[in-house]
């Protein structure tokens, strides 16, 4: 994503909310204000493997992508597009004088949306929708994080909060009943019912996701065999196989996690922007009131405005909490320090060969603020567990 400057202001450009079995894709969005007017030219490329007729729309934010509340009614041009699998150049014109008779500024963000008529229902309870489309991954300086590059992920749901001890216990108690057949290496720990569960290794997180799926009547994602016949319920020696078509609970991929953490912003260091302080997240030195406890987690969503000075809310643009700090979060992927130098551009799911470690993201209460950056990559042996490690679960649409 790039900033396009005009008339002393800028528009940051995002794309696309795909909404069908084969998602439409919007790319190469560019915006420019026509000199001497308040007309804004928006050009883009759009494609769709289903060759559907798409309705094109635009959403605009004037607060750096935190919310998209600027009305967009005066839109003309390619508002209806018959797409093909081959990207085609299209154009829209927004008459800002009708909807937003003000000067543009550097906090404005434009999002182009392709809608093929199918929309997902409301997110499952406790989850938020992360829309499909591209985002800018990496930070461009640190080798394991890779150069900034465009990655496209399919739409998915993600837990709004890290899995709490209470939720873990509820599913765990169901799973270990003899009739259900799950065996975990650790029962999980937590400072309180609404603190994040911790001391969970990767295998136990995966098994718990399967158990949550079965408990809620959903198809599990993880199996002991490539034919997806035996649900993964026990053991830590052999990595399970993932059925990506299943709609049960699972761990997010590393790319999904970073897109979600960035919360619609582009180039941001942290989920809410580029600075961090004690009122933003739970990390080493943040000064939160739980600092004297060990492990020093806060309740999930502690930084939600209710616990902080008026007006402070550290949910990101997708409404997710604790994507920075509190506990590290397991991702699905094997870790490879150079993976994003040559990874697939769409739905990367980690290297296929085992590196011996799985990805952790987000930093923790024990770590300095550098670990809390959206781009920071960390890893650990999947059998290891610790008081800084938890997780949140995802679901496919």
Does residue 281 share a domain with residue 179? yes
N-term to C-term CA, the chain: 26
DSSP character at residue 160 = S
Compute the average pLDDT of residues 339-354.
Answer: 84
Does residue 136 share a domain with residue 83? no
pLDDT confidence of residue 8: 27
pLDDT grade for 6, boundaries at 50, 70 and 90: very low
Higher pLDDT among residues 311 and 218, named by residue: 218
Q: Report the percent of the chain where pLDDT is more than 70.
A: 87
Does residue 205 share a domain with residue 137? yes
Domain count, the chain: 2
Q: Is the pLDDT score of 294 beyond 90? A: no
Does residue 194 share a domain with residue 70? no
Compute the average pLDDT of residues 343-353.
Answer: 86
Q: For position 147, which CATH number holds?
A: 3.90.1580.10
pLDDT confidence of residue 58: 85
Determine which of 6-10, 133-137, 289-293, 333-337 has the lowest per-residue pLDDT on average. 6-10
Q: Is the pLDDT score of 46 beyond 60? A: yes
Compute the average pLDDT of residues 35-55.
Answer: 85
Q: Is the pLDDT score of 255 beyond 70? A: yes
Does residue 261 share a domain with residue 363? yes
Does residue 153 share a domain with residue 97? no
DSSP structure string for 5-68: EETTEEEEEEE----SSS--EEEEEEEEEPTTSSEEEEEEEEE-TT--EEEEEEEEESSTTS--
pLDDT winner (highest mean) among 120-134, 146-160, 211-225: 211-225
Q: Is the pLDDT score of 25 beyond 90? A: no
Out of 85, 119, 153, a domain closes at 119
Pick from 219, 221, 256: nearest CA to 242? 221
Out of 97, 119, 141, a domain closes at 119
Does residue 296 share a domain with residue 337? yes
pLDDT confidence of residue 274: 93
Q: Is the pLDDT score of 155 beyond 70? A: yes
Sequence-distant (6+) residues with CB within 8 A of 322 are 161, 162, 196, 281, 282, 300, 301, 302, 303, 362
Does residue 325 share a domain with residue 299? yes
Determine which of 34-38, 44-48, 312-316 has the lowest per-residue pLDDT on average. 312-316
Q: Is the pLDDT score of 84 beyond 70? A: yes
Does residue 170 share a domain with residue 37? no
Range of the domain at 86: 3-119
pLDDT grade for 35, boundaries at 50, 70 and 90: confident
Q: Is the pLDDT score of 245 beyond 50? A: yes
- The C-alpha atoms of residue 110 and residue 61 are separated, in whole angstroms, by 6
Does residue 196 share a domain with residue 113? no
Higher pLDDT among residues 397 and 364, named by residue: 364
Q: Is the pLDDT score of 145 beyond 90? A: no
pLDDT confidence of residue 12: 35
Q: For position 54, which CATH number holds?
A: 2.60.40
Out of 119, 146, 173, a domain closes at 119
Q: Is the pLDDT score of 17 beyond 80? A: no
CA-based max dimension of the chain: 74
pLDDT grade for 2, boundaries at 50, 70 and 90: very low
pLDDT grade for 210, boundaries at 50, 70 and 90: very high
Does residue 391 share a domain with residue 290? yes
Higher pLDDT among residues 264 and 183, named by residue: 183
Q: Across all residues in the chain, what is the average pLDDT?
A: 85
DSSP character at residue 230 = S
Does residue 167 share a domain with residue 297? yes
Report if pTM > 0.85. no
pLDDT confidence of residue 14: 36
pLDDT confidence of residue 311: 55
pLDDT confidence of residue 382: 96
């Amino acid at each position: 994503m790039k900033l396009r400057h005009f008339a002393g202001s800028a528009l940051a450009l995002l794309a696309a909310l795909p909404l069908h079995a084969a998602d439409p894709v919007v790319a190469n969005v560019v915006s420019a204000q026509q000199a001497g007017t308040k007309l804004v030219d928006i050009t883009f490329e759009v494609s769709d493997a289903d060759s559907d007729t798409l309705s094109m729309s635009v959403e605009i934010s004037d607060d750096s992508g935190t919310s998209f509340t600027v009305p967009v009614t005066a839109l003309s041009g390619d508002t209806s597009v018959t797409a093909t699998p081959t990207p085609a150049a299209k154009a829209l014109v927004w008459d800002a004088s009708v909807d937003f008779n003000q000067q543009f500024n550097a906090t404005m963000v434009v999002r182009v949306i392709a809608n093929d008529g199918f929309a997902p229902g409301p997110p499952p309870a406790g989850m938020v929708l992360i829309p499909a489309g591209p985002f800018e991954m990496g930070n461009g300086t640190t080798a394991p994080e890779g150069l900034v590059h465009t990655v496209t992920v399919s739409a998915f749901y993600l837990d709004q909060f890290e899995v709490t001890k209470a939720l873990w216990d509820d599913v765990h108690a169901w799973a270990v009943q003899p009739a259900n057949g799950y065996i975990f290496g650790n029962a999980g720990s937590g400072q309180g019912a609404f603190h994040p569960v911790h001391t969970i290794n990767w295998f136990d997180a995966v098994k718990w996701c399967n158990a949550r799926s079965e408990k809620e009547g959903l198809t599990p994602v993880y199996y002991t065999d490539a034919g997806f016949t035996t649900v993964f319920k026990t053991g830590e020696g052999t990595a399970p196989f993932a059925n990506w078509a299943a709609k049960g609970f699972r761990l997010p991929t590393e790319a999904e996690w970073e897109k979600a953490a960035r919360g619609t912003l582009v180039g941001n260091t942290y989920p809410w922007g580029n600075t961090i302080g004690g009122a933003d997240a739970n990390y080493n030195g943040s000064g939160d009131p739980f600092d004297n406890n060990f492990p020093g987690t806060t309740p999930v969503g502690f930084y939600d405005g209710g616990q902080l000075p008026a007006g402070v809310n550290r949910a990101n643009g997708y409404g997710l909490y604790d994507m920075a700090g509190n506990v590290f979060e397991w991702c699905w992927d094997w870790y490879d320090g150079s993976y994003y130098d040559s990874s697939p551009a769409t739905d990367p799911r980690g290297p296929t060969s085992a590196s011996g470690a799985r990805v952790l993201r987000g930093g923790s209460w024990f770590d300095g603020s550098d670990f809390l950056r959206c781009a920071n990559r960390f890893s650990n042996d999947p059998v290891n567990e610790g008081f800084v490690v938890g997780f949140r679960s995802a679901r496919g649409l």
